[in-house]
Structure formats: structure tokens, C-alpha cells
Amino acid sequence: MTVSILATAVPTGAFGQTTGLEDMVGARAGQAEGELQRRGYVNTGGSKGDDRSYTNWWSAARGRCVAIATMNGRYDSITPTSPPDCRKPANARPVTDYAERPAYRPGRPSAARDDDQPLVDGRAVSLGLVCFGDGTRDGIASGTSWTWNSRRDRYEYGRYNETRTEQFDASLTVQTWDGGGRIRLPKSLVPPLHSRGSDGWWDLSDVMVGPDTIRATYRLNGMNKPKVTIDRRTGRITVKGFSDYGFRGTCDTIGHEQRRF
């Protein structure tokens, strides 16, 4: 007796390989959706479980479907899955991933430019980063309360103002090139008094790009010149300015080797 076994074909590489989105695990879902779209993914639907929700995202350029689990408002896991989960044909094949492309190097005639290495005022961007994290700044809180008036020897009801540290989720962008760079700040990191960046971008000065660390500064206003430090091994970024102004997060770029970028 002959027994025939029918096997469902799974596209090579659909499982057992990285998605290239691992850096987004832990990111807030609302912010990260924009970054997924920037990388060419579209939402094809999802479902809700007991303690988390699931969404499927499809990349036509890669022929790839990924399933994202969200828990407590953050991405808990990102895993590859089969194209039918994204309502695509089962025989869809992933194309060469961005991580498998040869890296662009300015000055090499044979290197092909693409949108991941743009030109800024004629200068080739050697490194572009998108960073997600938490920002802090000085804020003013107001309200009403009973306060003691010692001159009148009584309590009085009135308004008050106080300075406090505000915390918020934010994302920023960093670009560097030979001898310089710039940083794009979210509105939440731009105080009312500032030096007026260009379309949300501030020029970086004192840029030092080392094998493991990137350091720079930017002039926010006359009193505040924050320092930017990026660890190229871990992808962590810190921005430290005057008083409680700052940002801490994790940066992502295309192509990862021994260090993150």
C-alpha cells in the first residue's frame, strides 16, 4: 500500500529568519505604526486575545507577512508568518531583504544610491537613524488650592503655578555626513523660545563619529545647547540639555553587524 503525504509549501525564509523589525519590540504601538509604514508595511487586519492584540502587516517589496503582538500599548513580539495570514497568495516569495543589501558608501562609483542614503544640500548622508524613546522637559502646572495667608491669619482659595518635570513618548531622527549632521526634533522637545530650526531640523555641531560612539551638540536656544550621545553597539541614544530637558531611547538603521550600526 502506498501512502502519499501532501505537504503545504512554505516560502523559503518565511520562518526561521529575522524580520528586520526586532528593534521595534517594546515601542509604543501608536508611534511605531508610522515607522512600519515608512518601511513599506501595510496593516492587513488582526484580532484580540485575552491579554494582548495581534495585527498582521504585509510588505509587498519583500513579499513578507509579519504578526505583531501588542500588550499594554507596546509591541510585545514581531514574528514572521505565512502570506495567507496577510490575505496574500501562499506562493508569495520574499525578495532580498534590506539587511542583505550591500551597504552604500559615499565616494564609491559602483555604489548605487537609494532613498535610504539621501542627499542633504548636496552632501551624502552616511548614517540615518530613527530613534524611539522617552523625553523630559520643564513644564508649568497650574490649578486651584487652599493656601495659608499668615498676614491675614486664614486660609485662602486661589490659583497656583508650579514648575514640574514633564515626561512623554517621542521619536526623533538623526542624520550624519562627513563633517556634520542634523537632528529632527518632535514638537514636544522644542520649547517656546528656540533658535528656529529648518523645517523641524537642527544642525549638529562638534560632530564626532567614532567606531563605537557618536557625539554631537545642537543649539536649541541661547541657554540650552543639548549634548547628543549615541552608542553604536547597543543603539542607545541620550540627549541631555539644560535643567530637565532630555531624551533617552533606541535608534534603528538599515543593516546590522557586530555593532548595531
123 and 96: one domain?
Answer: no
130 and 203: one domain?
Answer: yes
- What is the Cα–Cα distance from 177 to 124, expressed in whole angstroms? 6
Q: Where are the beta strands (DSSP E) in the chain?
A: 41-48, 53-59, 64-71, 74-81, 119-120, 123-124, 127-149, 154-177, 180-184, 201-209, 213-217, 227-231, 236-240, 246-252
Check whether 93 has a pLDDT greater than 60.
Answer: yes
Task: Give the CATH number of the domain where residue 201 resides.
Answer: 2.40.128
- What is the Cα–Cα distance from 41 to 44, expressed in whole angstroms? 9
Q: What is the mean pLDDT of residues 20-34?
A: 83
89 and 132: one domain?
Answer: no
**Per-residue model confidence (pLDDT) at position 157:** 81
- Tally of structural domains, the chain: 2
Could you tell me if 133 and 235 are in contact, meaning their C-beta atoms sit under 8 angstroms apart?
A: no
57 and 181: one domain?
Answer: no
74 and 193: one domain?
Answer: no
- What is the Cα–Cα distance from 45 to 33, expressed in whole angstroms? 13
175-190 tens-digit pLDDT: 999 889 999 988 888 8
Q: Is residue 58 part of a domain?
A: yes
**β-pair partners for 139:** 164
132 and 246: one domain?
Answer: yes
125 and 229: one domain?
Answer: yes
Q: Is residue 204 part of a domain?
A: yes
**Residue 151 corresponds to which cell in the numbers above?**
498676614
Q: Is residue 194 part of a domain?
A: yes
Q: Is residue 229 part of a domain?
A: yes
Q: What is the pTM of this model?
A: 0.49
193-239 tens-digit pLDDT: 777 778 889 999 999 999 899 999 999 888 889 999 999 888 899 99
125 and 87: one domain?
Answer: no
**Per-residue model confidence (pLDDT) at position 165:** 62
Check whether 11 has a pLDDT greater than 70.
Answer: no
Domain interval for residue 174: 119-137+167-252
**Per-residue model confidence (pLDDT) at position 121:** 81
49 and 174: one domain?
Answer: no
78-91 tens-digit pLDDT: 988 888 889 888 77
227-239 tens-digit pLDDT: 999 998 888 999 9
Q: Is residue 16 part of a domain?
A: no
- What is the Cα–Cα distance from 29 to 120, expressed in whole angstroms? 30
